[in-house]
Amino acid sequence: MKKITTLAAALLLAVTAASAQNNLSGLFGKVAGVLSGSDTTATSILNTIGGLISKSTSSVDKIPGNWTFTGSAIAFKSENALSNVASTVAEGTIEKKMDEYLAKVGVVAGKFGFNFKEDGTVVMNYGGKNFNGTWTYDEETAKINMKFAKLVKANGYLTMQNGTMKLLFDASTMLKILKSVSAKSNNTTLASLNTLLKSYNKMYAGFKLTK
C-alpha cells in the first residue's frame, strides 16, 4: 500500500506541475523524465515502483497466430523495461491522435495485422497485400526482430496482457514501416505523426493486436 501511495503522489506532482503550465507535452515529458532517470527524483521513485515495471508478460509459445489491428499503442522506455504506468497516463490523448493518423494511411481494424507462424515466418497484411518475413523473440528482453523481404527491418518490443498483443517501435522504425507498406505515404499525415512521436522522450509507439 505504501508503494502505491508513493507512486500516486509522484504522478500527482508531475500532473500538477504540468497543469500549471497548461502544456500537454510538459506533462508527459515530466512523467517520461521520472521514468527515464533524467528527473532529480527519479532514482528514489524508480526504486519504489520497480516492482510495477516488468520486461514482458508474453512468451514465445503465445505469439503464433493471426493477430489483427485494434488500435495504436504507446509506452515509455525506462532502463531495459517498458512501463505500463506512463502508457496508462497517456493513452487517452496520444493514442487517440495516433489512431486518427493511422486511419488516414489505411491502418484500421480488419485491414492490418500480422500472422506469426511457429516456423519463424510472419506475414504482415496491409489492405489486402501480404508482406512475407521472419521473426525471432527474446523473452528476457521482450525484444522482437522482424525482417520483411525488400522492406525495413522492424525491430522493437512485444508484450502481451489479457489477450492483447502490443508491438512497439521507436519513432523512426514506426515511420519506416508505414512508409514501406503505405501507398499514401507521400502526404502530410506521416509528417504530422513524426512530430507527435518525437514530442516525447523515450516513447515507443506501435500497434495493439488481438486474435
List, as own/partner pairs, every contact residues 194-201 make where C-beta atoms lie below 8 angstroms and the sequence separation is at least 24, other chains included: 196/94, 196/97, 196/98, 196/101, 197/171, 198/171, 199/25, 200/25, 200/28, 200/29, 200/32, 200/76, 200/90, 200/94, 201/29, 201/32, 201/33, 201/36, 201/38, 201/76
pLDDT per position as a tens digit, 44-55: 333 332 323 344
Residue-level pLDDT at 14:
44
Query: With contact defined as beta carbons under 8 Å apart, do 116 and 63 qualify?
Result: yes
pLDDT band at 30 (very low <50, low <70, confident <90, very high): very low
| Interatomic CA distance for residues 59 and 159, integer angstroms | 9
The pLDDT of residue 26 is: 46
160 has which bridge partners? 165
Other residues' Cβ atoms within 10 Å of the Cβ of residue 73? 22
Banded model confidence at residue 76, pLDDT cuts 50, 70, 90:
confident
Band of residue 7 on the pLDDT scale cut at 50, 70, 90: very low
Q: Mind listing the pLDDT tens digit for each residue in 94-126?
A: 899 999 999 999 999 989 999 999 999 999 999
CA 88 to chain centre: 12
Q: Say how far residue 115 (Cα) sits from the centre of its chain.
A: 19
DSSP symbol at 93 = I
